[in-house]
């Protein structure tokens, strides 16, 4: 109680001198970074082709803009983060195997600053070496800030 009264009194006195003091903050703690912004991109415009998995936002009806692509080669995962097409490598995976993918996968950007965790539920098989991604989420984290994007999509060869 005595410490709170002293802190409040000091704030009052310093405020009268034109100095601002915020009680209860730690000047050594940096502010939290904003959550990464996940954007949409065209596979064709970025030369992303071949076997793998492509995901788009769950609320979209068009398949022309994607938020995720991962081929079967290591280091082929791409996402548009804060306006930049970022390359990722898979660092972990679990669950069912399908077309070089797993139902749960974790990726790290090549510079090591961003992680993306992709969890999907498989849907119906297509007519020619493909499977629908009926439901899923992508969690993107950078510097402690995270955003989650609901997705659907396709995987195949």
Q: What is the mean pLDDT of residues 91-107?
A: 97
Look at residue 21 in the predicted model and tell me its pLDDT: 39
What does the alpha-carbon distance between residue 145 and residue 32 come to, in Å, rounded to a whole number? 7
Task: Look at residue 4 and tell me if it is in a domain.
Answer: no
Task: Look at residue 95 and tell me if it is in a domain.
Answer: yes
pLDDT band at 9 (very low <50, low <70, confident <90, very high): very low
Is a pLDDT exceeding 60 seen at residue 97? yes
Is a pLDDT exceeding 50 seen at residue 14? no
- Secondary structure letter of residue 41 according to DSSP: B
Range of the domain at 55: 35-156
In the chain, the number of structural domains is 1
Helix residue ranges, H only, the chain: 2-16
Task: Look at residue 11 and tell me if it is in a domain.
Answer: no
Q: Using DSSP, state whether 46 is helix, strand or coil.
A: helix
What does the alpha-carbon distance between residue 153 and residue 7 come to, in Å, rounded to a whole number? 56
Q: What is the mean pLDDT of residues 75-100?
A: 97
Task: Look at residue 123 and tell me if it is in a domain.
Answer: yes
Task: Look at residue 49 and tell me if it is in a domain.
Answer: yes
Task: Look at residue 139 and tell me if it is in a domain.
Answer: yes
Task: Look at residue 130 and tell me if it is in a domain.
Answer: yes
Task: Look at residue 19 and tell me if it is in a domain.
Answer: no
Pick from 50, 83, 82, 52: which is nearest to 68 by CA? 52
């Amino acid at each position: 109680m005595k410490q709170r009264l002293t802190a409040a009194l000091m704030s009052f006195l310093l405020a009268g001198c034109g100095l601002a003091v915020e009680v209860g903050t730690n000047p050594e703690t940096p502010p939290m970074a904003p959550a990464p912004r996940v954007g949409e991109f065209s596979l064709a415009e970025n030369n992303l082709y071949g076997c793998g998995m492509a995901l788009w936002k769950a609320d979209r009806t068009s398949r022309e803009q994607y938020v995720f692509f991962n081929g079967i080669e290591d280091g082929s995962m791409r996402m548009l983060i804060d306006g930049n097409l970022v390359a990722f490598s898979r660092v972990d995976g679990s669950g069912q195997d399908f077309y070089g993918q797993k139902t749960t996968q974790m990726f790290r950007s090549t510079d090591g600053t961003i992680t993306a965790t992709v969890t999907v539920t498989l849907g119906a098989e297509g007519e020619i070496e493909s499977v629908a991604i009926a439901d899923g989420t992508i969690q993107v984290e950078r510097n402690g800030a995270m955003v989650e994007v609901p997705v659907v999509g396709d995987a195949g060869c």
